[in-house]
Structure 1
Amino acid sequence: MTQRAPVRVADLPSFDTLVDARSPAEFALDHIPGAINCPVLDDEERRIVGTLYKQAGAFEARRVGGAMVAANLARHLREQFADRPAHWKPLVYCWRGGLRSGSMVTWLRLVGWDAQQLAGGYKSFRHHVLAQLEALCPRLRLLVICGATGSAKTRVLHALAARGEQVLDLENCALHKGSLLGALPGVAQPSQKAFETRIVTVLDAIDLSRTLYLEGESARIGRLSLPLPLVARMRAAPCVEIQATPAARLDYLLRDYAYLGDDREALATKLGLLKELQGKETVRRWQEWARAGDLPHLYAELMALHYDPHYERSQARHFLSWAQRREVQATDLSDAGVEAIADAVRAL
């Protein structure tokens, strides 16, 4: 076989398919966007081979593992790769660009496909993600959209995106709404690595000469941490504040967080985490409202006693240009109201 030059992360667009040869657990933790998972060893097989390597030595691990690899590659050829044309050009990677991806590339080349191996494997892609965060974040032309809880900031981002503006939806990247009650029902957050991959996927596609809109977030969204270069750039960026009336915010929260009433006991349990901040009596009252499904009273007090005081304390501390922020007044956070706010933000 002819010797090929090493394939780098920058070469990814020149291939028809990205094939991740790692185990399903490794793939779930993070992977190159668009890759398909075709494990050379599944999670249990990888554990068995690793144990053999420690207990019986490298030869025995290779002997047993080789049979597993052969069976898995044969299955992929029969199933996943069965309909690939003769001119198919896949790029295969594993953790470091070693034996797992190398064995798959060998088999695919024997078939006749122009299969190649990513130099450095997933680790090289991970280095790319971290390097892009460091390189791109200081160059971003950000406009940060702020506003107290219930100001429909995320919906405004969506409306801006629909108008052709560049948007970084961090809560969508994190699969979390960013507050104590922000976990999405039945949806797990991605890993920290996958969160950062999602962010870089957006940043790689933007025009650095144009404004990028994003929501003013704290340094954490759920259990995930925002990349430090992005936090630093966001804190220094100009801000626009949506100043919505309490009544409009409450109406919006009752629509946007209505699903919290579907599991009242779970809601009450989450509220219990606020006892140290708000006191036992206040939280007990909130838990009673949660169990009774009285979301209007609950959300109104959460706004007044918890979210709004925290918001007022944090903004000036977190955003360097807070005193110079521009403001958009809002009395209506319906779909039409959100569209109007998006137009007002664009006009700024």
Structure 2
Amino acid sequence: MATKPDIVTLEALDAFDALIDARSPSEYAEDHLPGAVSCPVLDDDQRRLVGTLYKQRGPFEARRIGGVWVARNIARHVEAWMQDKPAHWRPLVYCWRGGQRSGSFVLWLRQIGWAAAQLQGGYKAYRRWVVQQLAELPPRLAWRVLAGPTGSGKTRLLHALAAAGAQVLDLEGLARHRGSILGAWPDGQPQPSQKAFDTALVAALRRLDPARPVWVEAESRKIGLVQLPEALHQALQQAPRVQLQVPFEARLALVLQDYAWLGRDPQALARRLQALRGLQPGEVLQRWQVWARQGRLPELFADLMTRHYDPLYQRHLRADDARATMLVLPGLDEATLAQAAAQLLAGGLARVGS
């Protein structure tokens, strides 16, 4: 059965000039289609009140009250940023499942004269497509995994590979987390929701060329609060690995650079270390918290690496990591990492700077 001209499927996204998210601000904040502009026809409070009215007094009362808010909000959006849109402007509107919120918005816009359309199935259809893409895309790509203990420069080598023209996927950048207990992003930057992470990941995967290798860091199933899709996790487990070997002093220096921001709030750092309770003896944890409060980061991170992160990494090494390519780096300066990236892309092995 043919789709109405004002109702389109996901395949038609590129045919429109703008993408309008008619859902509430909290729904938009959790996740939205890439590039979509938030124009809620009901804000969070209004949506909640309409839902309560629907349950308590029936659909007529809910629509009678909600319709006023919808009309007022749509008028405000039109006045705020659509006044300069030409007659040939084509917006596509979506809500949760392609229902009344986006339908009302499209009706208004078409009455004005714009060839607006409604996304069939709304965000719910888009989310199904994202989940499908996360299952289908990872096995098609030729992965190359950078492995190594904390501070071995995996992220910096990944960026050096990108600078040298390689395809890379920065999972920690997408997740806004370094994947460890102390791995939160600086200055309280929150992680994306799981759905927003999935959306960003699909966008990144679709940009990659299956005919070329894709470099990525070794990651566990979870990066902070977000989780890798099963297909990607399995693909990385089976991919060829490059094991980085870096002197401890160079690793510690890098960790002190990357985590220096934690020293700005010694009390908060001490509280973060509380997450290791049960994983380390009480006296060790107490010593680390004292060092954190005193700002003794070199001693703290050296001991954390020796007693916690390195043993943890060794326990999780894959059984076949003995067959991984070993890349020995004398340091983690920019020149060494650039040389390492060039060597990896050329197929070189073993040692950099020898």
TM-score (normalised: structure 2): 0.94
Task: Give the match's secondary structure for 1:277.
Answer: coil
Distance in 2, matches of 1:106 and 1:337, equals: 60
RMSD over aligned CA atoms reads 1.3
Partner residue of 2:238 out of 236, 239, 245? 236
Structure 2 contact 142–212 (Cα < 8 Å) conserved: yes
Tell me the SS of whatever aligns to 1:315: coil
Residue of structure 1 in register with 2:147 after alignment: 146
Q: Write the deviation string for residues 221-269 of structure 1: whole angstroms up to 9, x where unpaired.
A: 1111111111111101110011111010011111111101011111111
User: In the alignment, which residue of structure 2 is the partner of 1:87?
Assistant: 88
Correspondence for 1:104: 105
CA contact (8 A) 2:149 2:309 kept: yes
1:322 alignment counterpart: 321
- Local SS of the residue matching 1:48: helix
Runs of 4 or more, structure 1, over 4 Å off, are: none
CA distance in 2, matches of 1:103, 1:19: 13
Q: Aligned partners of 2:62 and 2:244: how far apart in 1? A: 61
Q: 2:275 aligns with which of 266, 273, 276?
A: 273
Contact preservation (8 Å) 1:328, 1:344: no
Contact 2:141 2:209 in 1 (8 A): no
CA deviation after TM superposition for structure 1 residue 5, in Å = 7.0
Deviation for aligned residue 1:345:
2.4
Q: Deviations over 1:43-101 (max 9, x none)?
A: 11101101111111100000000000000010011012122121111111000011000
* Larger mean Cα displacement after TM superposition, 271-280 or 96-105: 271-280
Question: Which of 176, 190, 193 is the matching residue for 1:191?
Answer: 193
1:289 equivalent to 2:291? Answer yes
Unpaired runs of at least 5, structure 1: none
Name 2:16's counterpart in structure 1. Answer: 15
Offset of residue 106 of structure 1: 0.7
**Is 1:257 matched up with 2:259?**
yes
The match for 1:167 is: 168
Q: Deviations over 1:120-144 (max 9, x none)?
A: 0001110111111111111110001
CA displacement 1:133-177 (0-9 Å, x = unmatched): 111111110001111101111121122222222111111111111
**Count of residues paired in the alignment:** 344
- C-alpha distance in 1, partners of 2:304/2:269? 13
State how far apart, in whole Å, the 2-side matches of 1:155 and 1:9 are: 37
The match for 1:43 is: 44
Mapped to 1, the partners of 2:35 and 2:333 lie a distance apart of: 35
Match of 1:63 in 2: 64
User: How far did 1:6 drift?
Assistant: 4.1
Match of 2:315 among 310, 313, 319: 313
* Distance in 1, Cα, partners of 2:72 & 2:277: 56
Secondary structure, counterpart of 2:188 in structure 1: coil
Which amino acid in structure 2 is aligned with residue 280 of structure 1? G
Q: How far has the Cα of 1:3 moved from its partner?
A: 3.9
Letter in 2 for 1:128: W
User: TM-score, normalised to structure 1's length?
Assistant: 0.96
Q: Which region of structure 1 is more displaced relative to structure 2, 60-69 or 217-226?
A: 217-226
Q: 2: distance between equivalents of 1:234 and 1:147?
A: 14
Does the 8 Å CA contact 1:157/1:167 hold for their aligned counterparts? Answer: yes
Task: Provide the rounded CA distance (Å) in 1 between the counterparts of 2:178 and 2:128.
Answer: 28
Q: Which amino acid aligns with 1:65?
A: G
Structure 1 counterpart of 2:332: 333
Output the CA distance in 2 between the equivalents of 1:299 and 1:3.
62
Match for 2:199: what amino acid? T
- What is aligned with 1:207? 209
Check the 8 A contact 2:6/2:118 in 1, yes or no: no
Asked if the contact 2:90–2:115 (Cα under 8 Å) also holds between the matched residues in 1, the reply is yes
Aligned-partner residue type, residue 123 of structure 1: K
